[in-house]
Chains A and B, each alone.
Chain A
Amino acid sequence: MAQSAISMDAPQEHQHDTFKLLGFWIFLVTDCIIFACLFAVYAVLRTHTDGDLTGRELFEVKGFTAETLILLASSFTSGLASLAMHKGSKKQLLGWLTVTVLLGLSFVGLEITEFAKMASEGARISTNAFLSSFFTLVGTHGLHVSFGLIWMIGVMVQIARFGIDSLTKEKVTIVGLYWHFLDVVWIFIFTVVYLLGVM
């Protein structure tokens, strides 16, 4: 009995590492539901332009294609970062994360420019229901990306300071997962909002 009691304590502790990942997956499920609701709202309101400009007149193919390619590329580089981490190369890991952050920054920059341009043309969040739902959906994604950037920089600082160990490894994995998730959400935005919008 005594023996088993001791040996039984151990496995639970080792599992603690996988708890975080499991919890994060469940968090992503909840975030997915959040985006699903926003997509549903957009789907209902996308034609409710109140006589103003529609998506076809507002969206610029060049702009949103660039955003898409940049975000896809950043997802790829974050994957490379994860590979570098498993190889144990701190320098490569930091390098690829830096590239990911830079790509992410330019994505956010492009999105802000796009929003500012629309606003200057009179297409604001308060203009009509279509634009309200558009800015809310795309803006929520943009906020997620911005938050992810700060987070990723935080993780980079930690890697620089503490090196690659089990703690930082877990953090890189989780932030990477988050980043890929945002990429998937963007694919839906690209299709549902932009492609269907300009078609």
Chain B
Amino acid sequence: MGEKAKGFFVTGDPLIYGADVSIIITLLGILVFLTYFKKWGWLWSEWLTTVDHKKIGIMYLVSSLLMLFRGGVDALLMRMQLAMPNTHFLQSQHYNEIFTTHGTIMILFMAMPFMFALFNIVIPLQIGARDVAYPFLNAMSFWLFFFGALLFNLSFVIGGSPDAGWLSYPPLSELAGSPGPGQNFYIWGIQISGIGSLATGINFLVTILKMRAPGMKLMQMPLFTWSVLSSCITIIFAFPVLTVTLALLFVDRFFGAHIFTAASGGNPMMYVNLIWMWGHPEVYIVVLPAFGIYSEIVSTFSKKKIFGYKSMVFSMIIISVLGYFTWVHHFFTMGAGADVNTFFAITTMAIGIPTGVKIFNWLFTMFRGRITMTQPMLWTLAFIPCFLVGGATGVMLAAAPADYQYHNSYFLIAHFHQTLIGGVVFGYLAGLYYWWPKMFGFKLNDRIGKWAFWTWNIGFYVCFMPQYALGFMGMTRRVYTYGWDMGWAPYNLVSTAGAFLMGIGFIFQVWQILYSIKHGERDLTGDPWNGRTLEWSIPSPAPHYNFAHLPAVRSDDSWWDMKKHRYGAAGQDEIKEYAPIHMPKNSGIPFLMSACWFVAGFGLTFEWIWLGIAGLAGIGICLLARSFQRNTDYYIPVDEIKRTEASIGRVV
């Protein structure tokens, strides 16, 4: 393939030259900063080798915000190209690359790590644990994601970006349709980070099942924990399918096999089935934790117990199970026959039932409560109407014959952005505002936050409502240009304006974070929102070991209960003896091993077999080295616990 790629470096586009320059300047800046301030050692020992779930969560968060920026810039470029008919801002090829990377990055390198950031930061604290079940594996998951994302993004300047759509249907994604290395970047970038995601799924499932604080029964778990549990189960059953599908596509491209080719007996239709068997559950993987976040926030800021807890749990489990039986609705128009289409239409609509139930339960949690309009609550309240309408258009899309008219049109685009932004992104942002004080010890500024909130929200509706209309006007997705004849121009222009409003909202948020670092209201109590769950029972930010004493849980809303009945961390005058705390040691292996994966992935992308083998050998060596390590943990002595607790203002 090497000779087929026109050149190693992508050339010929001023946008890309600009990116080259800014990447080099940023890298140089970071290098100079680290060297000048002698921060290399700090970077290595505090971050690159950490196995602390809180730090890993923060690294996930930073990466996902960076990816949100990249994916967002992609979106703005597309909207600029589509603002007017017959624009020559982007060439067809460039536009195709941009929508491909936009979709892939937003789902796999923005939504997934954002979600994992919240898993990592919140789950152990919320269930009263000191770490996850496999801290080493957790670090590995992060670095695999990191290097996978790095590899994928590298295609922008080296070798050329993938351009066959975010799910890369063959035959277009086969060697004959996409000869360059771009498609290989896609395969390996996702494959490497996907292994990490799978490991995270296993990790948090075991964490939740096995490491809950003493006394916490399954039906006393906070709903966010339940949502993570159901999301993890879905990950465990869906991600292996992605692994296989991408591997098979690579086998086709690398060995010239014929699994998904149109020629020599291959079956492209099978790829479409397989990729959606992962792809549809993936949507529920990212949305379920958002549901959990909303549940926490609605209850906290209505100062009321969540309504219909059992129903909430039950509906999440139904969603994660039903999620496996709806994948065909992504291709009702592939002529699967009336029987098949009817079956999948009804299963798809059926998912609307438990989702609708959740909305009612949130409403009735607020009913007869006392609602405070904090930032997390604002995003939650914005979510409800947005997701309601997005869900309704989802039910409309599920009616198979109606879908024949919506499929691949802008109606579909508007629908899934409404559920993914209105449901997932709003949820994660709400969670970010909610748990930010727990992560960093200060609140995010309210005034700037409201500006961000309103620009985001108004921008959203301005951007996507016209797209429903465009769908009815026959505009299909992925067209890089259109003419004046169809009357699409005004709606597209409005939509572009909305996209830029959302971009401004993002800038407000960056400003908000920077501003709040300096001026944000400090959280000295550890419980800034008058919370209900265990993460609020410890100081903000949480000490390295989270809980000096593991909490003894007696009911659901356990921290609320402790505060009410004055026991546990809310108890008074209790003499507490500390015991040494068992903690995992830091390790450099996850970082090094994931770097080897990166090398292997890069080698295989360019079909430089020697480099691929070198990378794989490195992975093997890292695995063996880890297997031979015996002292992977240590005890924090009582003295140190006392010192730490005193320094964060807790009674010793």
For chains A and B in complex, what number of residue pairs have CB atoms within 8 angstroms? 142
Is B574's CB under 8 angstroms from A2's CB?
A: yes
Whether B244 is near chain A, meaning CB under 8 Å from some CB there, is: yes
Whether B465 is near chain A, meaning CB under 8 Å from some CB there, is: no
- Flag the segment in B87-95, B97-105, B261-269, B307-315 that touches A: B261-269
Is B579's CB under 8 angstroms from A37's CB?
A: no
A136-B576 in contact given A13-B582, A15-B210, A30-B239 (Cβ < 8 Å): no
Most chain B C-beta atoms within 10 Å of own C-beta, residue among A11, A49, A132: A132
The answer for the CA separation of A16 and B567 in the assembled complex, in Å, is 28
Is B243's CB under 8 angstroms from A34's CB?
A: yes
Q: For A27, what are the chain B residues with a Cβ–Cβ distance below 8 Å?
A: 202
Q: For A127, what are the chain B residues with a Cβ–Cβ distance below 8 Å?
A: 264
Is A2's CB under 8 angstroms from B134's CB?
A: no
Is A126's CB under 8 angstroms from B258's CB?
A: yes
Is B267's CB under 8 angstroms from A167's CB?
A: no
Whether B381 is near chain A, meaning CB under 8 Å from some CB there, is: no
Q: B104-147 toward A: CB 8 Å interface, digit per residue (1/0)?
A: 00000000000000000000000001000110010000000000
Is A50's CB under 8 angstroms from B255's CB?
A: no
Whether A125 is near chain B, meaning CB under 8 Å from some CB there, is: yes
Taking the nearest CB of chain B, how far is it from the CB of A31, in angstroms? 7
- Flag the segment in A61-69, A90-98, A154-162, A184-192 that touches B: A154-162
Taking the nearest CB of chain B, how far is it from the CB of A198, in angstroms? 20
Whether B392 is near chain A, meaning CB under 8 Å from some CB there, is: no
A129-B552 in contact given A29-B236, A30-B198, A167-B630 (Cβ < 8 Å): no
A1-B259 in contact given A19-B134, A41-B248, A132-B266 (Cβ < 8 Å): no
Which size bracket describes the interface of A in this complex? 35 or more
Is A41's CB under 8 angstroms from B624's CB?
A: no
Whether B257 is near chain A, meaning CB under 8 Å from some CB there, is: yes
Whether B628 is near chain A, meaning CB under 8 Å from some CB there, is: yes
Whether B252 is near chain A, meaning CB under 8 Å from some CB there, is: yes
Q: A1-30 toward B: CB 8 Å interface, digit per residue (1/0)?
A: 110111011011101001110110011011
Contact check: which of A5, A18, A157 meets B550 at CB < 8 Å? Answer: A5
The answer for the CA separation of A22 and B208 in the assembled complex, in Å, is 13
Contact check: which of A2, A50, A154, A157 meets B576 at CB < 8 Å? Answer: A2
Whether B350 is near chain A, meaning CB under 8 Å from some CB there, is: no
Which residues in window 182-226 of B have CB below 8 A to A? 198, 202-203, 205-206, 209-211, 214
Is B257's CB under 8 angstroms from A26's CB?
A: no
The answer for the CA separation of A133 and B628 in the assembled complex, in Å, is 37
Taking the nearest CB of chain A, how far is it from the CB of B111, in angstroms? 21
Q: For A44, what are the chain B residues with a Cβ–Cβ distance below 8 Å?
A: 267, 270
Is A23's CB under 8 angstroms from B248's CB?
A: no
3 closest residue pairs by CB, A with B: A48-B265, A129-B265, A132-B257
Residues of A within 8 A of B (CB): 1-2, 4-6, 8-9, 11-13, 15, 18-20, 22-23, 26-27, 29-31, 33-34, 37-38, 41, 44-45, 48-50, 125-130, 132-133, 135-136, 150-151, 154-155, 157-158, 162, 167, 171
